[in-house]
Structure 1
Amino acid sequence: MTRLTAPQRIGSYTIERLLGVGSFATVWLGYDAVLDARVAIKVLAENWSHDLRVRERFLDEARLLRRLEHERLIRVHTVGELPDGRPYAVLAWADRGSLRDRLAHGEIPAPTALRLLGEVCAGVAVLHRHGVVHRDLTPGNVLFRSAGPDAPDAEQVLIADLGLAKALAAASGLTARAGTPGYMAPEQDDPGAVVDTRADVYGLGRLGVRLLAADPSGAHPHPPRPAPQIRLRDGVPPGVAAVLARATAYHPGDRYPDAAVLHAALARASGSARRPASPVAASTRQGPPPRRPRRSLLTGVAVVVAVALSQVAAEPGGTGSGRSAGDAYTTGPLTVALPPGWSATGATWAGQYGPDGEPEPALVMSPRPRRWAADPQLPGAFVGLSAATAARTTPAGFLAERTHGDCAPAPARTTRQAGVEWTVVLYACDQGRPRIVESAGRHPDGSALVYVQIAPPVGSGPEFVDTLLAGVRVR
């Protein structure tokens, strides 16, 4: 594993140490000397920084948390941009780690685990009240933060990592597979299914099974129909089993409609319906604090997870495997005709792997290819080739996974260029880039999907897009 060199500063914060590295971001512990406070600073990974949609998702999470600003959610202090154009988000530091860390050190006593599950349900209910579905509720996304010096033994239970969260209006049309096996609702693995608050109810139910079942290792990524009977640990009221069974029902219609209703059902089953929920939970730790795992992933911060397999970016600095020839650029089997004044860089499609396990080819082209994703004034394009994607979906299906939530799409059109039948969708946006074009087609022999994301120059029309697509060739 490559050793990361810690930056001395990010923005106005002094960097103390690395907290963790995920697939999509690196998180550092920063210190604010003015406020005498520590923060978690999440920086978008360099190999994803070229992709507009990944950047959107990264910044959307920060905007969403900032907008909701609730004591049950990780707070965002500010966002910024590094000199190389990568965005970062400054978050409150969850100084007492995650539920995943604690479960790694042994089971939590049943009464405490039941109370904790209620706190998590209350946090997710905040999201649901604001029309947001999380879609990836796991022990790693439940964090703990000290309640304050006046209550040293108490702590806040926080919901984190909304990188997969979407407004329900957008999520209802989302077809990308996203979530963590074992906690992901069955419909999230169905490209045509509607994903709504009931997917979160399923995730909460699976968290409950992990916390309260006598055999939590019986969790399966693809639950059977019907689900097996849940046998609870000693000390858990027997009525809780029926609540968890309904929450984890295979069909969404058989579950509770949202987290608030699930929370109320848990309270009734546990005999705590009359006890008001408090945002500050008693500490779930018993005895001395557990040792932190040496290789804990993003301990004490918003855990970064894979957003969706279709989200892509060309790796920077990959020009060694590409070559220019006049007005064309080639990397692997991809060759593109460069518009006047444009150059290209890239070698592989980050996060996308072929049947042989090797990264699939991609490139970025623009007047300044290393800056185009960070600079909304720059036109440019990402081009990727994927045999794995062609095996699982159609070009139209792939584009349906890549909607832009804050933009209005025009009706899809088709155009045939250089032997490829392209599906093209133009998005008009109110902020950032005024237009983004998503396009995809099959290689003439059907073996691979060719994907092109374009930020066209200001004033250009569909002719520019068609000319650019006509210049994409695959050997």
Structure 2
Amino acid sequence: MTAPQRIGPYAIERLLGVGSFATVWLGYDAVLDARVAIKVLAENWSHDLRVRERFLDEARLLRRLEHERLVRVHTVGELPDGRPYAVLAWADRGSLRDRLADGEIPAPTALRLLGEVCAGVAVLHRHGIVHRDLTPGNVLFRSAGPDDPDAEQVLIADLGLAKALAAASGLTARAGTPGYMAPEQDDPGAVLDTRADVYGLGRLGVRLLGADPTDAQPSRPGQPPDLRLREDVPPAVAAVLARATAYHPADRYLDAAALRAALTRACDPAERPVTVKRAGSSKGPVAAAGSGRRGPPARRPRRPLLTGVAVVVAVAVGQVAAEPGGTGSARSGGDMYTTGPLTVALPPGWSAMGATWAGQYGVDGEPEPALVMSPRPRRWAADPQLPGAFVGLSAATAARTTPAGFLAERTHGDCAPAPARTTRQAGVEWTVVLHVCGRGRPRIVESAGLHPDGPALVYVQIAPPAGSGPEFVDTLLAGVRVSGPPR
């Protein structure tokens, strides 16, 4: 491959890497006297609009998030032949793949590194994004600065396969790297959520800490992962990685933050063994992930407020998602449904499922409550023909923005928003924005208001039935209730 002399204003020094969809060059910015990484879409994919859009999505995501744990984007451009390129911060200390090729990483260092990777992925999860391709090659290192030459930053890279949870459904293409890819990514009809990344992080942990990482087989249905870790790894870590790499998503940690917390507990010698009882089970207690006992990993107890049946729902429009709620108190009665603090009046023929709101966290670090309702709520995320609604409650959001400001963040790339309107329903002043879309769901209604009894934002995203008008939206909003002051 012949290196170009220049890409835009940057002089090209050498090739950094070649992937399936892009080539990365080391460039020099003479104005700033700095080196940059320039990622160029591969020529054989330049006319595939889907791949081109995915390439640009990565730059948009990184630019929007702009976080120290993620590779930074400086700008984007286009070559004379029309191929797009992205100018990124250069990870001058290579990748985790490079370091693993050099030999085994000591267990204390590997554990700290795994925790840093979890923290980086947690940034994505807090913004409702699933990476879907967590591999050693996508973990990079960059010098932290001249004040401490030995310090470095751990960066998450290559978000080309990442999707907003809203779009990471059966409508997306299968993508990922064998050995690190969650089993459900093989199912074209699966709805992916943050637990797909938990699986990838668990497999990274096995690669870093396994006694024989090349012999560690992925999970299989009905069989707990058989993990053999090195002797210098705390015994409780095996239980954490076993739970992270469980075959079924419902048996894994909720997200990267929960996995990181479990690893911290497992590595703390002062941590006491604890036991929990599986919800809905008559069996006795089982060892919790941080207890040091081997055996089936236990679910983390949920706070009492977040209750509902176990459900995996990704809202198919907008950048939000629902995760499994707890068990026990969600109930439906006639045309009403209650889960935790949320109660809704169901339109005729609709049902609902309780959940929690992935990417939205309270002051205690737990996901905030939500529910999904539709004629077929389990299918609503993946079927654009189904009407339905997502209802979420967030005190954390109310503390940082207004309902109108929150809705301004809920953009839909293929949709044209109408001017916002307001309506007062059931004591809540709602801001409502209708989006008319060119593909997928023809109409999306975004609405938000403040809980009248406390500092919490109520968010309702609606895909209304065909032929319905504003009256349907207002009636649905009038049926949303919040019980008690928000926590």
Fold conserved between structures, TM > 0.5: yes
Distance 2:190 2:60 in 1: 27
TM-score by length of 1: 0.57
Aligned-pair identity in percent equals 84
Equivalent pairs, count: 289
Q: Given residue 240 of structure 1, which amino acid in structure 2 is its aligned partner?
A: V
How many Å apart are 1:436 and its aligned residue?
7.7
Q: Is the 8 A contact 2:219 2:247 kept in 1?
A: no
Equivalent residue in structure 2 for 1:87, among 84, 103, 109: 84
Report Cα offsets for 1:371-424 as digits up to 9, x if no partner: xxxxxxxxxxxxxxxxxxxxxxxxxx9x99xxxx73259xxxxxxxxxxxxxxx
Q: Is the 8 A contact 1:182 1:222 kept in 2?
A: no
Report Cα offsets for 1:112-170 as digits up to 9, x if no partner: 00110000000000000011000000001000011111111111000000000000011
Distance 1:228 1:218 in 2: 12
Distance 2:65 2:236 in 1: 33
Alpha-carbon spacing, 1:222–1:271, altered in 2? closer, same or farther (3 Å): closer
How many Å apart are 1:215 and its aligned residue?
1.9
Q: Given residue 197 of structure 1, which amino acid in structure 2 is its aligned partner?
A: T
1:53 is aligned to 50
Structure 1, unmatched stretches of 5+, are 275-396, 410-428, 438-475
Q: Is the 8 A contact 1:94 1:144 kept in 2?
A: yes
Equivalent residue in structure 2 for 1:11, among 4, 8, 12: 8
1:308 is aligned to none
| 1:94 match: secondary structure | coil
Distance 1:202 1:138 in 2: 11
Q: Given residue 413 of structure 2, which amino acid in structure 1 is its aligned partner?
A: D
Alignment partner of 1:36 is 2:43 = no
How many Å apart are 1:54 and its aligned residue?
0.9
How many Å apart are 1:223 and its aligned residue?
3.7
Q: Given residue 406 of structure 1, which amino acid in structure 2 is its aligned partner?
A: G
The 5 A counterparts of 1:96-135 are 96-135=93-132
Distance 2:38 2:81 in 1: 16
| 1:170 match: secondary structure | coil
How many Å apart are 1:177 and its aligned residue?
1.3
| 1:163 match: secondary structure | helix
Structure 2, unmatched stretches of 5+, are 272-381, 386-411, 417-434, 441-487
2:205 is aligned to 208
The 5 A counterparts of 1:393-408 are 406-407=413-414
Q: Is the 8 A contact 2:10 2:28 kept in 1?
A: yes
Distance 2:168 2:20 in 1: 23
1:232 is aligned to 229
How many Å apart are 1:173 and its aligned residue?
4.1
Alpha-carbon spacing, 1:221–1:268, altered in 2? closer, same or farther (3 Å): closer
Distance 1:43 1:272 in 2: 47
| 1:169 match: secondary structure | coil
Report Cα offsets for 1:275-330 as digits up to 9, x if no partner: xxxxxxxxxxxxxxxxxxxxxxxxxxxxxxxxxxxxxxxxxxxxxxxxxxxxxxxx
The 5 A counterparts of 1:136-215 are 136-215=133-212
Report Cα offsets for 1:337-383 as digits up to 9, x if no partner: xxxxxxxxxxxxxxxxxxxxxxxxxxxxxxxxxxxxxxxxxxxxxxx
TM-score by length of 2: 0.56
Alpha-carbon spacing, 1:273–1:115, altered in 2? closer, same or farther (3 Å): farther
Distance 1:243 1:174 in 2: 31
Q: Is the 8 A contact 2:209 2:229 kept in 1?
A: yes
The 5 A counterparts of 1:43-442 are 43-220=40-217, 223=220, 225-271=222-268, 406-407=413-414
Which stretches of structure 1, 4 residues or longer, exceed 4 Å deviation after superposition? Answer: 434-437
Q: Is the 8 A contact 1:264 1:273 kept in 2?
A: no
Q: Is the 8 A contact 1:256 1:262 kept in 2?
A: yes
Q: Given residue 167 of structure 1, which amino acid in structure 2 is its aligned partner?
A: A
Distance 2:85 2:28 in 1: 15
